Amino acid sequence: MLRIEDTDLERSTSAAIQQILDGLEWAELIHDEGPFYQTKRFDRYREVIEEMLATGNAYRCYCSKEELERMRADQSARGEKPRYDGRWRERTDAVPGVAPVVRFKNPLTGEVVVDDVVHGPVVFQNSELDDLIIARSDGTPTYNFCVVVDDMDMQITHVIRGDDHLNNTPRQLNMLLALGATPPVYAHLPMILGADGAKLSKRHGAVSVLDYRDQGFLPEALLNYLVRLGWSHGDQEIFTMEEMVKLFDIRDVNKSASAFNPEKLAWLNQQHMVRAPAARVAPVLRWHLEREGVQASDEAQLEQIVIAQRERAKTVREMALNSVFFFRAPTAFDEKAVRKHVTSEVPALLAEAASVLARLESWNAPAIHEAISAVAAAKGIALGKLAQPIRLAVCGGTISPPIDATLAILGKTEALSRLTRAHSLWNA
């Protein structure tokens, strides 16, 4: 069930909400019900507030913001926890001209126990809890109240969230109890910190899940990385989506926070790229190539590229960047590499290789490999002495998949044309 908690009208812009929807869709986290927007349920919240006012579970408070600020400042000065002191709890008089807020009347004594699935029972003294605002002076309900009404109305069975919410839970529990609802099961997951141990924030890189898409991560890899934070299944590191669903159990989750490790995410992403069928990665590669201004329409060729490149790229974006040369002939050659590999005998070697390759009837990697090896053997040189100049000629640099696979993907016509061009360039 997807619920959009958008009661903060300032922050919940339609762009922000769309980003959530798009992010979930990309991650293949598909909801069965909803989305339900809290902003569309204000009538219901108002109804419950009236009910609580009538039953004495809530009351109006006419304190001004300044008065509350003073109260908190005084308490802090005395070394106390800043909180509302309940001064309007038993008052029924109104302050003319002042729009009141509505506060929940939290029990004064006793304790609340949050029986948390990951933390075990956590005990809070009611005396530590103050009367939180459930309706602002403009009448709009607040988050901590809306979730309580929603959890009740929508018959939510499990509330699983970050443990920064653990401290909110006793108040929500008290409200649920006051409303006569059956509380859901709570599970508070450990937080994820940045690689530096500080709270994860914008300066750690990604702002939304879609940033991971843009950086070239596969959703299953991201989810795999995330699921292993605070959870494990023996020594297994790599999980398919199906395995995650099957093996994950909230009861096995650890309590301590973890630091986000981009290197491990990258490693996992590569593992997923290597294990996934090429047909799974090809469309993603196409998407990233398009972002680089390359139109790739041949699906079979894309799959060949995926197979040739997936072991030498951590992300699909990196794979795309490494593969642009398949679609655009090099406009310049790596100068250092040219100095190193293009010796005086190279033009003749290239000419010989080109003519042998030109005579090949079937253009595939094994045949190409055989042809090039034969040329090298005939000339009495190591394969590398020939492969590197060819590589340089067709990709402009010294990094590519094995030379036979590279030429095979390039196609006979394009490969020979690039060889010929480099030959005439270096022959001069």
Q: Which of residues 340-399 bind RNA (CB under 7 A)?
A: 369, 382-384, 387-388, 391, 398-399
* Residues noted as catalytic: 202
Q: Please identify which residue in 17, 22, 27, 83 interacts with RNA, judged by CB under 7 A.
A: 83
The least CB distance from residue 407 to RNA, in Å, is: 10
- First-to-last CA distance in the chain? 69
As beta bridge partners, residue 138 has none
The least CB distance from residue 343 to RNA, in Å, is: 15
Q: In the window 195-214, what residues touch RNA (CB under 7 A)?
A: 197-199
Q: For residues 70 and 299, which CB has a smaller minimum distance to RNA in the complex? A: 70
Parallel, antiparallel or unpaired: strands 111-116 and 36-37: unpaired
117-144 CB burial, b ≥16 within 10 A, e <16: bbbeebebeeeebbbbbbbebeeebbeb
Q: In the window 105-164, what residues touch RNA (CB under 7 A)?
A: 119-120, 122-125, 128, 130, 133, 136-138, 142-144, 163-164
Binding segment for RNA (CB under 7 A), chosen from 52-60, 190-198, 208-216, 352-360, is: 190-198
DSSP string, 68-128: HHHHHHHHHHTTPPP----TTTT-----TT-PPEEEE---SSSEEEEEETTTEEEEEEGGG
The runs of H, that is alpha helices, within 140-294 are 143-153, 169-178, 209-214, 219-227, 241-247, 262-275, 278-291
Site membership for RNA, residue 264 (CB under 7 A): yes
Q: In the window 162-181, what residues touch RNA (CB under 7 A)?
A: 163-168
Q: For residues 225 and 426, which CB has a smaller minimum distance to RNA in the complex? A: 225
Query: What separation in angstroms does the CA of 387 have from each of 67, 309, 380, 393, 412?
Result: 79, 17, 14, 10, 16
Kind and range of the H or E run holding 189: strand 185-189
Which of 24, 357, 364 lies closest to 213, judged by CA?
24
Binding segment for RNA (CB under 7 A), chosen from 3-11, 21-29, 289-297, 354-362, is: 3-11
Q: What are phi and psi of 367, to 5 degrees?
A: -65, -45
Query: What separation in angstroms does the CA of 212 have from each of 2, 206, 220, 281, 394?
Result: 22, 7, 11, 15, 32
Site membership for RNA, residue 74 (CB under 7 A): no
Q: Please identify which residue in 131, 151, 303, 404 interacts with RNA, judged by CB under 7 A.
A: 404
Q: In the window 219-258, what residues touch RNA (CB under 7 A)?
A: 228-232, 234-235, 237, 252, 254-258
- Say how many residues touch RNA, by CB under 7 A: 85
The least CB distance from residue 358 to RNA, in Å, is: 20
As beta bridge partners, residue 135 has 102, 141
The least CB distance from residue 9 to RNA, in Å, is: 8
Q: Which two tokens stand for residue 370?
A: 């055989």
Residue 410 to residue 301: CA distance in whole angstroms: 9
Q: In the window 50-69, what residues touch RNA (CB under 7 A)?
A: 63-65, 68
Q: In the window 298-337, what residues touch RNA (CB under 7 A)?
A: 311-313
The least CB distance from residue 297 to RNA, in Å, is: 26
Q: For residues 166 and 178, which CB has a smaller minimum distance to RNA in the complex? A: 166
Q: For residues 6 and 303, which CB has a smaller minimum distance to RNA in the complex? A: 6
Q: For residues 12 and 420, which CB has a smaller minimum distance to RNA in the complex? A: 12
